[in-house]
Amino acid sequence: MNAHDLKQFLESQSRNIHLIGVGGAAMSGLARILTLQGHLVSGSDVNDADGLDELRALGVGVDVGHAAEHVAGAEIVIFSSAIAANNPELTAAGQMGLPCVKRAVLQGALTLGKTTVAIAGTHGKTTTTTMITHVLRVAQHDPSFMIGGDPLNFPHSSHWGSGATMVVEADEFDRALLELFPTVAVITAVEADHLDTYGTVENMESTFRAFVEKLPSDGTVAIHADSAACGRVTAAADCTKRSWSLRGNADWVCTELSPRQGSGYEATIESASGERHRLSLTIPGLHNVLNALACVTALDALGVPASTTVLALSHFQGVRRRFELRGKVNDVTVVDDYAHHPTEVRASLRAAREWHDGRIVCVYQPHLGSRTAELFADFCGAFRGADELVLAEIYQPPGREDPPTLSSADLAAAITRPSDTRYAATLTDALLQVTGLVKPGDLVIVMGAGDVTSLCEPLLDHLHTLSPAKQWS
């Protein structure tokens, strides 16, 4: 069933729909949208989580664990790319003759009939998607949206709105972005990643090129003009091209730029026609200035005035786990961050250095053995912005790939800066090591796309136990 057939299937009447892997960021968002559209939705996932309670409150029937009986009564099954082919629910659905559709096809179906802004790229797409959504909400457009993270300005990562616009994060993993039907395509960056899917960077660029080719002739592609790869994948685009840059020679550029310690950036942005605006961000990092420029460029293509965009961005709070301040206790600041690619690691540590005046202690958990191996040399040089580094063992999502042939211990041994990189075989060990390292005035940044985020609460709890008398003894 393709996206067009699925759209017709869903619009013909209310359906009983089962989602396998419903706890994932994208899948839980889809469950919410389908429920808002009036469908009867059920789902299952391996583990329970806070997000599943929210779905239950919405009326979604959620089971923990996968079992064949969970698909009973369903008319169609939606599954994420993380679901193995031998999953018992997927197997049962096939035996029952039910249509089984990948998550990306459903996302594509939801973009049909909407003016769709699709944000793609190996870095920055979640924050940029959330920025664009935030601006449209502030401007009372009531957009529909599908975001792969939890926004801090509004309560949900997905919505089915009354407005004409759909904003969607376009995921390059498993080539999911090719199922979308964009009107405006935003490409923030194209770098080596997900090579377990693509094999080579050239294959990855070919997929981005195919994504651009899906745009109609009256559509728009907006890119980071400073990226040679973005230029390559849009070179033959048969539509309007727009761009942003920190260096000049783009539709929107940054002409003045200054970081604020403990906050974000002040900047002046200027259009090619000479329109100037003051941009004020409360979230740190030069990469977020680029994300804001991407937001301005995309919304300008939709006819949203840049003055409206920069005003809304001045109170943009960010996305959970994107340099998220989790607390400050006994003069130690704890930040949670999702960075899991060398470029992202460097950007987050640079943001930490601009934002914080003291030592930076990084606890990093690599995500996937394949990514760690393919980008090993880049990872070795990515942590120079940290004063101390604890490397937890590689996070491997169940069933995603074969067990890794290397360990975080190998990466720790190869890193020369920081000079005393520590290896932690478990998250418990990582917590013990970081609590032994921290001093007053430190910033601890807990970083990675796996379950390393679970260290934040026990770390803050530990810091609370340190009374002034015995503190840091």
Q: If you write DSSP's letter for every residue of 271-303 in order, what string do you get? A: ETT--EEEEEESS--HHHHHHHHHHHHHHHHTT
Q: What's the pLDDT at 467?
A: 58
72 in a structural domain: yes
User: Is the torsion defined by CA of 342, 343, 344, 349 positive or negative?
Assistant: positive
- Show Cβ contacts of residue 62 under 8 Å, excluding neighbours closer than 6 positions: 22, 42, 43, 44, 45, 52, 55, 56
Q: What's the pLDDT at 136?
A: 98
Domain match, 151 and 277 both: yes
Distance CA(96)–CA(81), nearest Å, equals 21
Contact 133, 221 (CB under 8 A): no
User: Of 37, 67, 102, which closes a domain?
Assistant: 102
The first and second tokens of residue 473, run together, are 């003894």
Domain match, 67 and 153 both: no
Domain match, 342 and 445 both: yes
The first and second tokens of residue 450, run together, are 């796996």
Domain count within the chain: 3
> 230 is in which domain, residue-wise?
113-313
Domain match, 277 and 205 both: yes
Mean pLDDT by 10 residues, the chain (473 residues): 96 97 91 96 88 90 95 96 91 97 97 97 96 98 96 96 97 93 97 85 95 97 97 96 94 92 92 96 96 98 97 97 96 97 97 96 96 96 98 88 90 96 97 96 97 97 76 52
Distance CA(6)–CA(234), nearest Å, equals 29
Biggest CA-to-CA distance, the chain: 69
214 in a structural domain: yes
Beta-sheet strands, E only, within 2-132: 16-20, 40-45, 61-64, 76-79, 100-102, 115-120
469 in a structural domain: no
Q: What's the pLDDT at 469?
A: 46
Distance CA(188)–CA(119), nearest Å, equals 8
User: Of 73, 102, 131, which closes a domain?
Assistant: 102
Strand-pair partners of 392:
424
123 in a structural domain: yes
Q: What's the pLDDT at 198?
A: 87
* Strand 265-271 versus strand 220-224 pairing type: unpaired
Domain match, 266 and 394 both: no
107 in a structural domain: no
Hey, which residues are catalytic here? 125-126, 169
Domain match, 98 and 158 both: no
473 in a structural domain: no
Domain match, 79 and 117 both: no
